[in-house]
Structure 1
Amino acid sequence: MNTTGLRVAAVIPVRGHAALLDGCLESLRAQSMSLDEVIVVDDSPEGSLEQLPGVRVERSGGRGPYAARNTGWRSSGADVILFLDARSRPRPGWAERLVEAFTDPDVVLAGTGVEVSSGPSLAAQASHRAQFFKIRSFVSTPFFLPYLPTCNLAARRSALEAVDGFSGVRSGGDADLCWRVQRTTGGRLEGVEEVLMEWVPREKVLDLLEQTYRYGKSNHALRTEWSDRGAPPRVPLSLPRLAKRAGVVSLRLGLARLRGDAERSAALLADACGVATEIGYRVAVDRARRSSAPPTGRGAGRARARVGA
């Protein structure tokens, strides 16, 4: 039961993972506190998701997950917005605990501990071992300001309005939003260490590696975007060192799988995810250097001709 007087809405963007949505909605129905609205935002270009019982479906036209979240919260009049994704499985006390945090007027953002579930696949077991969403790494020991992932993020509506919601980035928009909210409003982010959310991992190894590769690219984008506001730069690993790490992990993982050592395989795939993150960061750094380098050769000649024209 909600005794805070605050209206509460949950927003879930969906594109390509509609099969996972039922589990998320079922978990929301099991909450100890009833929600005023549950909004699913269909971000597929064709808007193919049908209406669902007890749920309002909005459409965002395939503009990406952060644009979809903006569509969701802007369509609601709730005071507190609970952001999840289709892989999120909130435990029964999740919503109630988060909404309680907003009875403190200084709190503008909140989230709880998240546990990545395991499963029968190697990718799921490696994800469970890696635990990408440990709240301490986001709140207690972040590389810059504290933030929370959008699989488990509650925001005060007035704070979202103050910064005009999420920016249009592909990845890293959760950190960017949290940082802008804190800087603009002066409000506080509250991290609840109790694990009140489970997250369903990817089942395919390539999907998992792509996910962690993208983490590296978004980390570089965030450091670059926020460099003039204090975000610390980071030197990427050298190509020889990266190649060596990737080769060693791949060889050991292959041998572990040949031996049928599931536990060792999961540990090594978790290590491979760390390598994928470093590769993503290195690729982003190299692309940024190339785009900022002055043209040479024929390109330089054409550039000088344009300037002189």
Structure 2
Amino acid sequence: MPEPGESRALRTAAVLPVRGHGAMLDAVMACLRAQSVTLDEVVVVDDAPVPTLGPVEGATVVPSHGAGPYAARNVGVAATDADVVFFLDARSRPRPEWVERTLERFADAQVGIVGSDTLVRGGTSLAERASEVQQFSRLDKYVANPFFLPYLPTCNLAVRRSDFDAVDGFSSVRSGGDADLCWRLQRTTGHRLDVVPDVLMEWVPRDAARQLLEQNYRYGKSHHGLRRDWSGRGLDVVPPLPGWRLAARTGRAVLRFGAAVPRGRDAQAEQFVALAGVCFDWGYWRAHRRGRAGTAA
């Protein structure tokens, strides 16, 4: 392990999975090329079932054949021999000091995971405005007030490669693999999670309202999955609200959103965030129901 002050001797790589976002690659690659400290490698993982990406300037492209976002990241890590691996996605827009200031934290040999604050950008569509209000990736949701152990999202995450290998990388799940990885790293290696408290990453939200609602529904399902998988390790499985109460909440949220329409864009965005929260709760409810049905079977 490096001594303090030797962080720049560490070999670095960024792993970027892509599926259906090829058009966004130019922007994120431009951000990576503008870093104040140059990455040694960039690995773009083409996760389409049938690879569609051609060569990407400044990156190695490897296929993962539709394995899913976390399995694709494992494929990307396997393609590099870096000491520190940076994770981001096609919607990530790292600021120029992202690599430099994140890498500095690995000078401490007891640090195994590093991230910084992430700012979700706004836009003109309802979904973009609501995402800007929601700010789902701010540090207070992951580190300052975590629901279990602290963790960081894979749109803005760096890990020590030896630690990553020690836990066999990401679990092959659709959502929630970032929390699971960070928790296993902390429990297995004893290394801690550290953060740069400044915004070093911006993130481009989805522009379709349905996609934002589906994202929150998926997050609800993964939240339940995390609680289930970690239930024997200190995390309780909290029962969801009854279906009738969720239905009532849904109705109220829809009515409030309708009432907000005449009040302008800001009011609409705030009430759409409430609708997204209801979708999260429905995702949690659905996963809980399926878990009970599987147990009964």
Q: Do these two structures clear the TM 0.5 threshold for a shared fold by scoring above it?
A: yes
1:145 aligns with one of 134, 145, 149: 149
Identity %: 54
Q: Does 1:241 align with 2:245?
A: yes
CA distance in 1, matches of 2:195, 2:220: 23
Larger displacement relative to structure 2 (75-84 or 3-12): 3-12
Q: Is the 8 A contact 1:111 1:148 kept in 2?
A: yes
Q: Residue in 2 aligned with 1:129? A: 133
The runs of 4+ residues in structure 1 deviating greater than 3 Å are none
Alignment partner of 1:105 is 2:109 = yes
2:282 to 279, 282, 286: 279
The equivalent of 1:211 in structure 2 is 215
- Deviation for aligned residue 1:269: 0.4
Q: Which residue of 1 aligns with 2:230?
A: 226
**Separation (CA, whole Å) in 1 of partners of 2:278 and 2:265:** 20
Amino acid at match of 1:270: V
Count residues in correspondence: 292
- Structure 1 distance, partners of 2:38, 2:211, is 34
Q: Is the 8 A contact 1:208 1:273 kept in 2?
A: yes
Matches within 5 A, 1:238-277: 238-257=242-261, 259=262, 261-277=264-280
For the 8 Å contact 2:7–2:107, the answer to whether it is kept is no
Please tell me the residue identity of whatever aligns with 1:189: L
Residue 254 of structure 1, CA deviation: 2.3
Aligned partners of 2:17 and 2:174: how far apart in 1? 14
Is 1:75 the counterpart of 2:75? The answer is no
**Structure 1 letter corresponding to 2:231:** S
Deviation, 1:26, is 0.9
Contact 1:143 1:232 in 2 (8 A): no
Secondary structure at the counterpart of residue 102 of structure 1? helix
Change (3 A) 1:3 1:180: closer
Post-superposition shift, 1:87? 0.3
Partner secondary structure for residue 4 of structure 1: helix
Cα deviation, residue 103, structure 1 = 0.6
CA 1:177 to 1:3, structure 2 compared with 1: closer, same or farther past 3 Å?
closer
Deviation at 1:195, TM superposition (A): 0.8
- Structure 1 position 260, deviation (Å): 6.2
Alpha-carbon distance in structure 1 between the residues aligned to 2:60 and 2:228: 37
User: Which has the greater radius of gyration?
Assistant: 1
Amino acid at match of 1:93: E
Distance (Å, rounded) in 2 between the aligned partners of 1:270 and 1:18: 28
The structural deviation recorded for 1:255 is 3.2
For the Cα contact (< 8 Å) 2:7–2:103, is it kept in 1?
no
* TM superposition shift of 1:18: 1.2
> Normalized against structure 2, the TM-score is what?
0.96
After TM superposition, the score normalised by the length of structure 1 is 0.92
Distance 1:244 1:21 in 2: 42
Could you list the per-position Cα deviations for residues 194-238 of structure 1 after superposition, in whole angstroms to 9, with x for gaps in the alignment?
A: 111000000000000000000000000000000001012212112
Q: Which residue of 1 aligns with 2:53?
A: 49
Counterpart for residue 90 of structure 1: 94
**1:241 Cα deviation after fit:** 1.6
Q: Does 1:196 align with 2:200?
A: yes
> 1:98 corresponds to which letter in structure 2?
T
Q: Is 1:116–1:133's contact at 8 Å kept on the other side of the alignment? A: yes
Listed as ranges, the gaps of 5+ residues in structure 2 are 1-5
1:53 CA displacement: 1.3
One-letter identity of the residue aligned with 2:213: L
**Secondary structure in 1 aligned to 2:101?**
helix
What's the CA shift string for 1:168-206, capped at 9, x where partnerless?
111100011111111110101112221110000000000
Kindly provide the CA deviation profile for residues 228-253 of structure 1, in whole angstroms up to 9, marking residues without a partner as x.
01012212112222111111111221
User: 1:6 aligned to 2:10?
Assistant: yes
Q: CA RMSD, aligned part only?
A: 1.2
Tell me if the contact between 2:253 and 2:275 (Cα under 8 Å) persists in the aligned partners: yes
Give per-residue Cα distances to partners, 1:139-174, cap 9 Å, x unaligned.
Answer: 121111111000001000001110111011111000
The Cα of 1:112 is off from its aligned counterpart by 0.3
**8 Å CA contact 1:144, 1:232 repeated in 2:** no
Aligned-partner SS, 1:40: strand
